């Protein structure tokens, strides 16, 4: 199955903005957007419904997880709020469907959700540049990348199950045993439980977990392998796809950056690239 994906472009890649006295690519007001959308477009359906339905997870910080009150939070949740703000001028008008990783594409294609914003990886159409990294536990026999390399076939590496999982592990640890698991939570739990010696996870996840749980996780000091993350929508609806792209671009590159910038600083621990007024990059 092929999935058309939104371009949440610049979590980590620097890009300029083209803002002067007029903002190019400004969003249409919701009623005008609905009037111009095709009758069958999901854009009309969502606006008429009065809320956005987002498929996401709850076990992969800092992207999506539960806070102390059991409420969903994380960078993916912030991106959903950006869409709700753009649709209804109210970031609270979102219904979240909590789903496992293997439900992401089925829930899109069957129409259960309007958009999936859940740490989706590895497709040329997905354009959110991050880096992968290794993560161990303080009790691990091998604490550094050099130690892991030297251990060779003795190392057991946990990784999220996907078609490129073995390659992803072996690009860093050519001789390691690969343990593919069904969720990021289980990938990380394998390390803390001692079933795996190292986990291959997103670099932002390593940074978050080591900071929040220093007694459980250790950064062996090696990041590699650029990967692509994206939200996803159903194929065949250009109005909906174009609107989401526009909304994200305005939030990340334009004049409505408050939600994005605040979330970036909270969940990634640093400020996003400063946008300079002037001409856009080509």
113 and 31 in a common domain: yes
Is residue 95 a contact partner of residue 53, using CB atoms and an 8 Å limit?
yes
Under 8 Å CB-to-CB from 235, ≥6 apart: which residues?
Answer: 2, 3, 4
Largest CA distance in the chain: 63
- What b/e string do you get for 24-39 counting C-beta neighbours within 10 Å, with b at 16 or more? eeebeeeeebbeebee
Using pLDDT thresholds of 50, 70 and 90, give the confidence band for residue 26.
Answer: very low
177 and 141 in a common domain: yes
Distance of CA 146 to the CA centre of its chain: 29
264 and 213 in a common domain: no
CA distance to 8, 73, 221, 238, per residue, from 41 (Å): 21, 29, 47, 8
Is residue 6 a contact partner of residue 231, using CB atoms and an 8 Å limit?
yes
Under 8 Å CB-to-CB from 229, ≥6 apart: which residues?
Answer: 8, 11, 119, 120, 121, 126, 128, 130
Q: Measured on CA atoms in the order 273, 278, 280, 281, is the torsion positive or negative?
A: negative
Mean pLDDT of the chain: 80
Q: What is residue 132's predicted lDDT score, i.e. its pLDDT? A: 65
109 and 22 in a common domain: yes
137 and 35 in a common domain: no
User: Is residue 97 assigned to a domain?
Assistant: yes
213 and 76 in a common domain: no
10 and 115 in a common domain: yes
- Find the domain containing 114 and state its range: 4-124+229-268
Structure confidence by residue, pLDDT tens digits, 229-265: 778 888 889 999 999 989 988 898 888 889 999 999 9
169 and 144 in a common domain: yes
144 and 83 in a common domain: no
Residue 194 DSSP code: T
114 and 21 in a common domain: yes
User: Is residue 151 assigned to a domain?
Assistant: yes
Is residue 44 a contact partner of residue 237, using CB atoms and an 8 Å limit?
no
Q: What is residue 197's predicted lDDT score, i.e. its pLDDT? A: 94
User: Is residue 276 assigned to a domain?
Assistant: no
Q: What value does the mean pLDDT take over residues 268-272?
A: 84
What tokens does 82 get?
């950006």
Is residue 5 a contact partner of residue 231, using CB atoms and an 8 Å limit?
yes
Structure confidence by residue, pLDDT tens digits, 70-115: 999 999 999 999 999 999 999 999 999 999 888 888 898 899 999 9
CATH classification at residue 186: 3.40.190.10
148 and 62 in a common domain: no
User: Is residue 78 assigned to a domain?
Assistant: yes
169 and 32 in a common domain: no
**Count of structural domains, the chain:** 2
pTM of the model: 0.74
């Amino acid at each position: 199955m092929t999935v058309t994906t939104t371009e949440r472009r610049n979590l980590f890649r620097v890009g300029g903005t083209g803002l002067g006295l007029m903002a190019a690519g400004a969003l249409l007001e919701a009623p005008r957007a609905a009037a111009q959308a095709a009758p069958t477009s999901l854009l009309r359906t969502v606006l008429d419904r009065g809320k956005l339905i987002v498929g996401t997870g709850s076990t992969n910080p800092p992207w999506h997880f539960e806070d102390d009150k059991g409420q969903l939070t994380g960078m993916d949740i912030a991106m959903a709020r950006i869409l709700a703000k753009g649709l209804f001028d109210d970031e609270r008008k979102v219904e979240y469907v909590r789903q496992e990783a293997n439900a992401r594409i089925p829930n899109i294609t069957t129409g259960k959700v309007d958009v999936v914003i859940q740490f989706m990886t590895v497709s040329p159409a997905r354009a959110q540049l991050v880096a992968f990294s290794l993560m161990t536990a303080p009790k691990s026999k091998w604490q550094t990348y050099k130690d892991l390399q030297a251990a060779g076939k003795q190392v057991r590496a946990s990784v999220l199950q996907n078609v490129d999982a073995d390659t992803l592990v072996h690009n860093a640890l050519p001789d390691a045993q690969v343990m593919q698991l069904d969720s990021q939570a289980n990938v990380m739990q394998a390390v803390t439980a001692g079933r795996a010696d190292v986990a291959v996870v997103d670099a932002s996840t390593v940074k978050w977990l080591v900071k929040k749980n220093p007694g459980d996780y250790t950064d062996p000091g090696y990041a590699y392998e650029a990967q692509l993350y994206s939200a996803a929508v159903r194929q065949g609806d250009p109005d909906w796809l174009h609107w989401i792209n526009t909304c994200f671009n305005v939030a990340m590159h334009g004049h409505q950056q408050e939600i994005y910038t605040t979330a970036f600083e909270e969940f990634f621990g640093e400020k996003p690239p400063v946008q300079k007024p002037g001409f856009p990059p080509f």
